[in-house]
Amino acid sequence: MKKWLLAAFYVTVLIIVFIYRNSIVDYMHQHGSFPVLVGLATLIALFPIIPYKLVIAALGFSFGTFWAAAISWLGTMIAATIIYILAKTVLREQGRKYLGRWKALQSFTVWTETHPFVSVAAGRLIPLIPQMAVNVLAGVASIPFWTYTAASSIGKLPGIFLYAFLGGEGTNHPVASILVIAAYVLLLGTMFFLYKRKKLSA
């Protein structure tokens, strides 16, 4: 029941944003400085009441692909670092309980212990893996901070660029949008193939 309510909430938000998109864009241009927008992006990443992909696309529509990607990347990296530190220190036990809710992460957790950099980067790329779970898992598994940060920085870029581009240029350049989506899907397919091959050979 909760999943249906959450889905209904997201759809409602999407409809409202679409209806008032021009007013929202005007307001963001008038009142949104770069630090303020990064701060808002960080808060939304920490408390995801709105799908972050929607936020990236909205920023792309308002400010173009480059600035949308920069704002979104900085916001989500700040949020990811905060959650990682909390999971590694004061909220370690709560982090383990949270991860226990995601049975699909069990094999991924084992892979994280042996391939920390690749697993974190892959977790950022795969849309089906909750980003909050990756943050918590990295903290609980005590993955080194710089390994986690570097892997997250690289892994987040393709997805953020994709949604920023679709939000900013998707309607104006449909062919380019299809090519960008195809490249992203190809990247995911290649990564999944390598993961399965590595898992079978292990």
Residue-by-residue DSSP string for 37-87: HHHHHHHHHHS-SS-HHHHHHHHHHHH-HHHHHHHHHHHHHHHHHHHHHHH
pLDDT digits (tens, 9 = 90+) for 73-88: 999 999 999 989 988 8
Q: What is the pLDDT of residue 28?
A: 61
CB 72 within 8 A of CB 66: no
Where b means 16+ CB within 10 Å and e means fewer, 173-199 reads: eeeebeebeeebeeebeebeeebeeee
Q: Per mean pLDDT, which range of 45-49, 68-72, 80-84, 97-101 is the poorest?
A: 97-101
Alpha helices in 64-173 (DSSP H): 65-88, 92-99, 106-114, 116-125, 131-140, 145-169
Mean pLDDT of 116-141: 84
The single residue listed with the structure tokens 């290649």 is 190
Is the backbone of residue 155 left (phi > 0), alpha (psi -120 to 50) or beta?
alpha
Q: Per mean pLDDT, which range of 17-21, 167-171, 182-186 is the poorest?
A: 17-21
| Rounded Cα gap, residues 116 and 143, in angstroms | 7
Q: Which two tokens stand for residue 104?
A: 């699909």
pTM for the complete prediction? 0.77
Residue 112 burial (C-beta neighbours within 10 Å; 0-12, 13-18, 19+): buried
The single residue listed with the structure tokens 């870029």 is 157
**Range from 23-27, 48-52, 69-73, 86-90 that averages highest in pLDDT:** 69-73
